[in-house]
Amino acid sequence: MNSAQIARMLSDSEYVVCLSGREMIVEDGIDSMRDMETAYEIEMKYGYSPEEVFSAQFFNTRAEKFYEFYREEVLAQDKEPGRAYKALADMEEMGILKSTITRQLFNFPRRAGCKNVFNLHGNIYEKNCCPRCNKEYPVEYLKNSKKVPLCKTCGVPIHPGVTLLGEMVEIGLTTKAADEVSKADTLLLAGTNMRTEEVQQFMRYYQGNRVILIHDGEHYGDKEADYFVNARAVDILPEIVEELKKINE
């Protein structure tokens, strides 16, 4: 299946929703902590696995070590969204893509120009808040802190604007995202596979007739999609946009 065929299917769709996966941020240069080599390096550096450090329990009991990790391994990866995310923004502007759902923390879809975005696990830029008075702080305040960034009013550690392991995802946001998926006739899965937790969670609500899966490499779950494209999202999504422009000429 090529970009022209996908573009035609998207153009013929009434309601397209995209689930944007981890591969898309990796393609833009983000070093994923799920990579075995990266996870090993983090454990050697901090004495804990990424899952242990990036947890609510660790934040509550070892805030200084948590923020050392958060500044150096998360906030330091403050990169710009690439061509794949710009392509999603172009599709939204064309009226084809209705919304984008992601669990990634860098707000790439919105920063690329998408307007209807569901950041299920929050993002590093927004809602860095004092848990006591709810005063919000910019991400630069966290980046520039020497140790633990404290609320200037309450003197307690600021909670980053991301969902840590062991914390509940905002129920209202998840419900709205599930409602988007339930309205979709076409589901575009980009930079992920059919067996990830995110995809499995939302497939329960999907009632459409076209699941288009785009990811680099093959996976045993690929056969569960209606259409599978073995390609990097950063390569094929811009091609799809060009084909959509031809259709709309």
pLDDT one-digit tens code per residue, 159-198: 999 999 999 998 999 999 999 999 999 999 999 999 999 9
Longest pairwise C-alpha distance within the chain: 59
Residues 242 and 11 sit within 8 Å (Cβ to Cβ): no
Strand partners, 97: 16
pLDDT band at 43 (very low <50, low <70, confident <90, very high): very high
Give me the mean pLDDT over the 23-37 stretch: 87
| SS3 category, 151 | coil
- In the chain, the percentage of residues whose pLDDT exceeds 70 is 100
Cα end-to-end distance, the chain, whole Å: 23
β-pair type (128-129, 117-119): unpaired
Average pLDDT of the residues in 80-92: 97
Q: What pLDDT, on the 0 to 100 scale, is given for residue 249?
A: 77
Q: pLDDT grade, residue 31 (50/70/90)?
A: confident
Contact residues for 161 (Cβ-Cβ < 8 A; gap 6+):
122, 123, 124, 125, 126, 127, 128, 129, 139
| Model pLDDT, residue 62 | 97
Measured distance CA(216)–CA(193) in Å, rounded: 10
* Mean pLDDT calculated for residue range 19-35: 90
Given a cut of 90, whether residue 34 has pLDDT beyond it is: no
**CB-based contact 156:133 (threshold 8 Å):** no
Residue 49 pLDDT exceeds 90: yes
Average pLDDT, the chain: 95
Decide: 57 and 76 in contact? Cβ < 8 Å.
no
Q: CA 98, CA 168: separation in Å to the nearest integer?
A: 26
